[in-house]
Chain A
């Protein structure tokens, strides 16, 4: 077993708040890994640190053998890590297809289209791939519509679609099931499974326990910025430390707005 993505004792503090405190996690290649923990435990901060949106105070991030600590977001994406956001972030005044083409930078770089910067955006191969992905996620009917006209759930699907444009080795999903109805949750789970079978590794932050436990091979629990326990879902479900992290004691109940 080799770890595709690894954080090694990563620390990050915001002022007096220690968001990450020596967090060490490993995601095996080809797996669907879950990352759970109470609000403020540092899940999103860990995502931000991995994808270059925040710099670490200490520790390292590795993709395979490659050290990507503090690499800029565009470098991280080119290296093969795609991510979605907890609150969807699509390019609202671009069409869905244009959103897809923006993310095709990496793919197009190999096709020599970069030589002429004024070449029309999105070559036939890019558009074909975008259409395929939109069909896969079920929003191809909106390809020509402005992204701001999509519903919240559709935006989540668009985010998943355009992240896949660059064929990342690993996709980090920040609450893919958050604020989404039940039908769509199962659709999203199916799509993740299908992509995983085709070779994409996933790391998922999610509060919906059924979703996480049903989908993931390996679950890591984060509490106060530290990975407290890691294992298969059935083990995690019964681990006393998990209950402790979630229920805690009365004084632990302060939600820090970094989660």
Chain B
């Protein structure tokens, strides 16, 4: 086992028991297996379930999985809560919409425009980031919301946006039976790509810098991290992906209106999904989207009153804050850790039964104490790898 755990997956990020190599390998195998199964299900889903209503839900879900992963790549890693990503989502939608109109593109070629929509959104993110990233916490949140309103107003009032008529996408002459599939698979590619990118970043030097900024930005800068540059790059990547997803959404929905392309509920939903699943973890936000989006869609068709879905969203927000403040994945990981420690304790009772035994393989158990052993308990006592 290597010294560092920089390569730790999302679960370890929350701090799990340092397992012996054998169990580690098994855990990795299980994780990879599960991932494969999930991906397989995602790929065959629209082939097995051909009901257009459900495939439509699936497209919406993919859009949100990608969006929340993109959001988490910036906000989750840096700790800067952005509530204005609808700016990039809408910018992507309008860019793709205007270009489609301009170039009169037919059929499936339109998907080639998505990277362009993403690029424009990323370019928009740069000046916005240069302004907003100068401030932190609440001020940052408020400024991102302000950006959002500026952009929605522009969409209403600029001459080329179509005002409150918005932009309509072209009709696609695809067969009705699998009409949703192209959107679904493009959405899946973007989502899987974003998750993969998030994973790569999590393990990279760049990602480590982002996480250091989350923990103590000034200290990170004092250790040579160019904080502004690093934050800005993450913000632009995150915004760019949101823009691509906005473009996809426009093709799928068929129309972009200022209030739907620049939608405040988009930001709230994405943030709620991330908090529900586990803010800053890799799997958490994705899980949050997979739970929340189908749920909202289901409520939408079950209850004829359109506000039920909004009410549920609000109630869920409160419930998450009350009962799962850290989200499903970190709380779950902690539960598993506690269970494993309890198991280990049952198997091998502590020597003499005096000190509570540390979990096997944890630093505290396997290594000699440091000169600091017995320091006054001014700080948190060391508990090895367990938290």
CA distance A130 to B224 in the complex (A): 16
Given contact pairs A145-B363, A151-B375, A91 touches B220 in the complex (Cβ within 8 A):
yes
Task: Name the B residues within 8 Å of A119 (CB-CB).
Answer: 204-205
Contact of A73 among B2, B5, B206, B218 (CB under 8 A): B218
List the one stretch of B82-90, B146-154, B339-347, B365-373 in contact with chain A: B365-373
Q: Is the CB of A120 within 8 A of B223?
A: no
Q: How far apart are A172's CB and chain B's nearest CB, in angstroms?
A: 10
Contact of B374 among A88, A149, A163, A183 (CB under 8 A): A183
B363-387 toward A: CB 8 Å interface, digit per residue (1/0)? 1101111111011111111111111
Task: Name the B residues within 8 Å of A113 (CB-CB).
Answer: 205
B142-164 toward A: CB 8 Å interface, digit per residue (1/0)? 00000000000000000000000
Q: How far apart are B356's CB and chain A's nearest CB, in angstroms?
A: 15
Q: Is the CB of A102 within 8 A of B383?
A: no
Most A-side CB within 10 Å, residue of B222, B367, B382: B222
Q: How far apart are A220's CB and chain B's nearest CB, in angstroms?
A: 23
Q: Is the CB of A149 within 8 A of B384?
A: yes
Q: Is the CB of B218 within 8 A of A152?
A: no
Q: Is the CB of A103 within 8 A of B223?
A: yes
Given contact pairs A93-B211, A105-B223, A127-B4, A118 touches B370 in the complex (Cβ within 8 A):
no
Task: Name the B residues within 8 Å of A181 (CB-CB).
Answer: 374-376
Check if A153 is an interface residue, CB within 8 A of chain B.
Answer: yes
Q: Is the CB of A98 within 8 A of B4?
A: yes
Given contact pairs A94-B212, A122-B6, A101 touches B205 in the complex (Cβ within 8 A):
yes
B49-85 toward A: CB 8 Å interface, digit per residue (1/0)? 0000000000000000000000000000000000000
Instruction: Give the contacts of A132-177 with B (CB-CB under 8 A).
Output: 138-146, 148-155, 157, 162-163, 165-166
CA distance A149 to B216 in the complex (A): 16
Q: Is the CB of B372 within 8 A of A154?
A: yes
Contact of B219 among A72, A89, A138, A154 (CB under 8 A): A89
> Number of contacting residues on A, CB 8 A?
65
Contact of A184 among B15, B200, B375 (CB under 8 A): B375
Q: Is the CB of B215 within 8 A of A144?
A: no
Task: Name the A residues within 8 Å of B223 (CB-CB).
Answer: 74, 77, 102-103, 105, 162-163, 165-166
Extra A-B contacts (17), CB below 8 Å, given A117-B206, A151-B378: A51-B222, A73-B218, A89-B216, A94-B211, A97-B5, A101-B205, A102-B223, A122-B208, A139-B370, A140-B367, A141-B368, A145-B382, A145-B384, A151-B372, A151-B381, A180-B376, A181-B376
- Total A-B Cβ pairs within 8 A: 196
CA distance A113 to B208 in the complex (A): 14
CA distance A74 to B223 in the complex (A): 6
Q: How far apart are B255's CB and chain A's nearest CB, in angstroms?
A: 37
Closest 9 CB pairs of A and B: A152-B379, A141-B367, A153-B375, A97-B4, A91-B215, A153-B372, A105-B224, A103-B223, A187-B371
Contact of A121 among B207, B363, B368, B378 (CB under 8 A): B207
Considering only CB atoms, which chain A residue lies closest to B207 in the complex?
A121
Q: Is the CB of B208 within 8 A of A101?
A: yes
Considering only CB atoms, which chain B residue lies closest to A166 in the complex?
B224
Q: How far apart are B15's CB and chain A's nearest CB, in angstroms?
A: 5
Q: How far apart are A175's CB and chain B's nearest CB, in angstroms?
A: 13
Contact of A120 among B7, B224, B380, B385 (CB under 8 A): B7
Q: How far apart are B237's CB and chain A's nearest CB, in angstroms?
A: 11
Q: How far apart are B360's CB and chain A's nearest CB, in angstroms?
A: 14
CA distance A154 to B215 in the complex (A): 18
CA distance A184 to B375 in the complex (A): 8
A-B contact pairs, 27 of them (CB 8 A): A53-B218, A72-B221, A73-B221, A77-B224, A78-B224, A90-B219, A91-B219, A93-B13, A94-B212, A97-B4, A98-B6, A98-B208, A119-B204, A120-B203, A121-B203, A139-B372, A141-B366, A141-B369, A141-B370, A142-B370, A145-B364, A148-B387, A149-B384, A151-B372, A151-B375, A157-B370, A183-B371
A75-95 toward B: CB 8 Å interface, digit per residue (1/0)? 011100001010011111111
CA distance A76 to B221 in the complex (A): 10
Check if B263 is an interface residue, CB within 8 A of chain A.
Answer: no
Check if B242 is an interface residue, CB within 8 A of chain A.
Answer: no
Q: How far apart are B17's CB and chain A's nearest CB, in angstroms?
A: 11
Contact of B212 among A85, A91, A130 (CB under 8 A): A91
CA distance A146 to B376 in the complex (A): 20
Task: Name the A residues within 8 Å of B382 (CB-CB).
Answer: 142, 145, 149-151, 154
Considering only CB atoms, which chain A residue lies closest to B211 in the complex?
A94
Task: Name the A residues within 8 Å of B363 (CB-CB).
Answer: 141-145
Q: Is the CB of B225 within 8 A of A74?
A: yes
Q: Is the CB of B206 within 8 A of A118?
A: yes
Considering only CB atoms, which chain B residue lies closest to A150 in the complex?
B382
Q: Is the CB of B205 within 8 A of A122?
A: yes
Check if A70 is an interface residue, CB within 8 A of chain B.
Answer: no
Check if A55 is an interface residue, CB within 8 A of chain B.
Answer: no
Considering only CB atoms, which chain B residue lies closest to A139 in the complex?
B370
Q: Is the CB of A138 within 8 A of B5?
A: no
Considering only CB atoms, which chain A residue lies closest to B229 in the complex?
A74
Check if A58 is an interface residue, CB within 8 A of chain B.
Answer: no
CA distance A146 to B382 in the complex (A): 9
CA distance A96 to B175 in the complex (A): 57
Considering only CB atoms, which chain A residue lies closest to B214 in the complex?
A93
Check if B168 is an interface residue, CB within 8 A of chain A.
Answer: no
CA distance A66 to B227 in the complex (A): 23
